[in-house]
Amino acid sequence: MFVLEKLAKLCAILAGVLLTAITLLTCGSLIGRNTTGDSIVGAFELTAVAAGAAIALFMPLCQARRGNIIVDFFTAGLRPAVNDRLDRLGALLLALIFGLLTWRTALGGLNSYNTGSETQIMGFPEWVVYAVMTPAFVLAGLIALHQAVFGFRTEEAGEAAI
C-alpha cells in the first residue's frame, strides 16, 4: 500500500498545482478585465477542464484516506467485525465503480482523440483531460481493491493511518 499511497499523494499534489494555476489564470483575467477591459479569452474553458482533471486527481488520496461519505446510521451499533466486512464490501464496490469509470473514461478519451474534439473557444484538445483522469481512476480503483482485500489500517492498531 505504501507505493499506492505515495502515488495518491503525487496525484493530489498535481491537482493542487492545477488548481493554483487556474486560480492565478482567473485572477489575471479578472484583473485585466477590470483594469484594461481585456480578459483572457477562454479562461472559463481552461477552468472547467482543469477542475475536471483536478477532481479525478484527488480521488486516489480521498479513497486512501477513507474520505468518502459514510452513512452509518444503521450500522453504528453493530460489532466491529461486521462493520469491517461491510467496509470491505463497500471498498470492493468502489473498486468496481472505479474500474467502470476507468473503462468509460479511456473510451471517451480515445473517441475524443480520434475525432479531434476541442473546446469551442480556445481549441484545447479534450483528450488531454481524459488522459489525466484515466490513470487517476485506475489508482483509486487499485487502492479500493487493496482495501477490500487487506482491510483498513487504523491508528488504534498501532499502524500509521493511510
Please state, in angstroms and rounded to a whole number, the distance separating the CA atoms of residues 99 and 90: 14
Structural domain containing residue 115: 2-157
Q: Is residue 95 part of a domain?
A: yes
Q: What is the pLDDT along the chain (162 residues), one digit of tens a residue?
A: 789 999 999 999 999 999 999 999 999 999 999 999 888 888 889 999 999 999 999 999 999 998 887 777 888 889 999 999 999 999 999 999 999 999 999 999 999 999 999 999 889 999 999 999 999 999 999 999 999 999 887 544 444 444
Distance in angstroms (rounded) separating the CA atoms of residues 30 and 58: 27
Tell whether 9 is covered by a domain: yes
Could you tell me if 122 and 41 are in contact, meaning their C-beta atoms sit under 8 angstroms apart?
yes
The answer to whether residue 162 sits within a structural domain is no
In a domain, 60, yes or no: yes
Whether residue 80 lies inside any domain: the answer is yes
Determine, yes or no, domain membership for 15.
Answer: yes
Task: Report yes or no on 58 lying in a domain.
Answer: yes
Residue 78 DSSP class:
S
Match 488520496 to its residue by C-alpha cell. 61
What is the helix, strand, coil percentage profile of the chain, to 5? 75, 0, 25
Could you give the angle at which helices 43-64 and 80-115 cross, rounded to 10 degrees? 150
At residue 158, the pLDDT reads: 42
Total domain count, the chain: 1
- Residues in Cβ contact with 24 at an 8 Å cutoff, skipping those fewer than 6 apart: none
- Sign of the alpha-carbon dihedral angle for 154, 90, 101, 52: negative
pLDDT of residue 118: 93
Helix (H) or strand (E) holding 99: helix 80-115
What's the confidence (pLDDT) of residue 154? 53
Position 34 in a domain: yes
